[in-house]
Structure 1
């Protein structure tokens, strides 16, 4: 159980690019990073408007001298300080991720980046090569993957509780963008503009979340080919999609279905993953993250509860409070930031053995998310045809 003890070598001096006052996700980053003392917020370039960003940083408790006008100044100035930051989180529009992450790695910083990591596989592979050369950690915020019952599902599948895996159904289908609210909402507007978002909207913005969870639960499952169909039901969003269906064929014969949607009217969140085997199925829903449903053919359904002693030890490791009390999004994000910090510290100490034991969405997860989006777009734009996964 995580109880607030700060491991040796932490906290890590940390800063942010983006995540300012009007950010949808900035507070979640800060809450998660600061919760366990793994990081200490020391600097930032929080807003494209320098004065607004400086004022916001001061309200967070930072000195005005460490609230910078832009990321370049942030990296340069902090590198000159003996107490300068060692890591940075990037919470900016998609089109800026590559250049900011690249600059951060060149400045000798560990990086936590919003997804998608960048807008092309070529960029993602370049970042991976640079991170390896600099011996720096790059984490990607697939925040929901920090829930403990994802680990429980992984262990149950690995020991054969489901039998042979046949089907994986994934979805992230909410209804909050069923109307064109981006006309009055800047934090949504950039997400549906290809200039800033890249080649997709819901595929990259939300579809990669269950895709990564699937990879955590089933690390041996590899896509051979896929077929994607995408739509822009709010016509002003074209060519970016607000709804998409993807069918995947995996090596070994299993199939997967992923529904990514922002126009599922009435749905609050709608992120679910169901793994169907030859003898049983597992289902996890992020609106009820403390329960994992296990259904054996011909037997009553079982519900596994977070925090109970019957769970796998690895699923209990990230608990923060005893069973019966609900945990959710902030705990999942905090678990990820805790792991990011441990990985960064191990990397700085060149402790490769410790690094191998820390499971978190890393640069490879970021590369795979970008690669999947590219293949989906390629299929959809060719008329929804099967394409070999490349």
Structure 2
């Protein structure tokens, strides 16, 4: 159970690129990183507008001389300080992630990056090689993976509670972009522009979230081939899709489906994952993250609750406030960030083995997300045909 004791020898000196006043995601990064006192925000290049970024940084109590106009100026200046930053989080539009992450690694910094890590598998592999050469951690913010019951599902599947895994059904299908809302919302405009969003909209923006949950729950399951069909129901978004269906075949015989959508009118989030085995099934829904549905064939369905003693130890390790009190996305992100800090500290001590045991969405997760999107786009562009997973 997490009780607030310091988990690292001293807080990691940390900065942000992006995440400024108008950011949709900047605050949850800061809240998660600072909650357990494992990071200390000491610098930032918070906004594309230097003055606006400086004003925002000052209101976060960052020293004026450490509120920078751009990320490269920050990396250069901080490298000359004895108390310079050790890690950086990247909370900028997708098209900037590769360049900023690469520059941060060259500067010897650990990185936490919004997904997607980059646009192509070749870029992802370049970042992976650079991170390995520098001995740095690259974390990717698949924030839903920090919920405790995801770890419970992983432990149950590993223990054989479900039997042989047959089917994985995934979706992240909300309705908030069922109309062309980007016309009046600058923070949405870049998400549907290939220059900034890359080769995909909903596959990369929401589809990779349940995909990563499946990878956490079923780490040995590997995709053999897939088929993707994608649509642009709001025509101005073409060639980027606002809806997509993916069918997957896995090595060993299991099959999976994933529905990613921003036009599921009326749906709040609609992110669910259901894993079906020969004996039983599990289902988790992010709108009810404190419950895991466990259905054994021939028996009444059970609702497993977060924080209860009947859960596996892995699920209780990240408990913060005991059973009965609902926890949400801020706690889940905090669980990821404290694990990022532990991994960074381990790498700084040369203990890559320890860093590899912490269950974080790391550079491998980032590479796999990019690889999956690339294969989905290839399948769709070939006319929704089956393609071998390359």
TM-score between both structures, scaled by the size of structure 2: 0.99
Please state how far the C-alpha of 1:138 moved relative to its aligned partner.
0.1
Aligned to 2:46: 46
Q: Helix, strand or coil: the match of 1:341?
A: helix
Please state how far the C-alpha of 1:352 moved relative to its aligned partner.
2.9
CA contact (8 A) 1:172 1:269 kept: yes
Aligned runs of 1:106-145 on 2, under 5 Å? 106-145=106-145
Please state how far the C-alpha of 1:286 moved relative to its aligned partner.
0.6
Aligned to 1:219: 219
Cα distance in structure 2, aligned partners of 1:147 and 1:58: 32
CA contact (8 A) 2:339 2:360 kept: yes
Cα distance in structure 1, aligned partners of 2:8 and 2:259: 43
Aligned runs of 1:138-177 on 2, under 5 Å? 138-177=138-177
CA contact (8 A) 2:281 2:296 kept: yes
Please state how far the C-alpha of 1:22 moved relative to its aligned partner.
0.6
Number of residue equivalences: 390
CA contact (8 A) 2:46 2:53 kept: yes
CA contact (8 A) 2:8 2:342 kept: no
Please state how far the C-alpha of 1:315 moved relative to its aligned partner.
0.4
Q: Is 354-363 or 311-320 further displaced after alignment?
A: 354-363
Q: Helix, strand or coil: the match of 2:276?
A: strand
Unaligned runs of 5+ in 1: none
Aligned to 1:86: 86
Cα distance in structure 2, aligned partners of 1:188 and 1:294: 37
Aligned to 1:308: 308
Q: Deviations over 1:163-217 (max 9, x none)?
A: 1111000000001111111111111000000000000000001100000000000
Cα distance in structure 2, aligned partners of 1:18 and 1:273: 31
CA contact (8 A) 2:174 2:262 kept: yes
CA contact (8 A) 2:229 2:384 kept: yes
Q: Deviations over 1:98-137 (max 9, x none)?
A: 1000000000100000000000001000000000000000
Please state how far the C-alpha of 1:357 moved relative to its aligned partner.
2.1
2:23 is aligned with 1:23: yes
Please state how far the C-alpha of 1:8 moved relative to its aligned partner.
3.7
Aligned runs of 1:213-252 on 2, under 5 Å? 213-252=213-252
Aligned to 1:63: 63
Aligned to 1:366: 366
Please state how far the C-alpha of 1:355 moved relative to its aligned partner.
1.7
Q: Helix, strand or coil: the match of 1:118?
A: coil
Q: Deviations over 1:226-282 (max 9, x none)?
A: 000000011100000000000000001100000000010100011100001111100
Please give the root-mean-square deviation of Cα atoms over the aligned residues, in Å.
Answer: 0.7
CA contact (8 A) 1:88 1:109 kept: yes
CA contact (8 A) 2:32 2:337 kept: yes
Q: Deviations over 1:336-361 (max 9, x none)?
A: 00000000000000123422321100
Q: Helix, strand or coil: the match of 1:323?
A: coil
Aligned to 2:380: 380
CA contact (8 A) 2:272 2:286 kept: yes
Aligned to 2:186: 186
Cα distance in structure 2, aligned partners of 1:156 and 1:185: 42
Cα distance in structure 2, aligned partners of 1:191 and 1:373: 15
Q: Helix, strand or coil: the match of 1:37?
A: coil
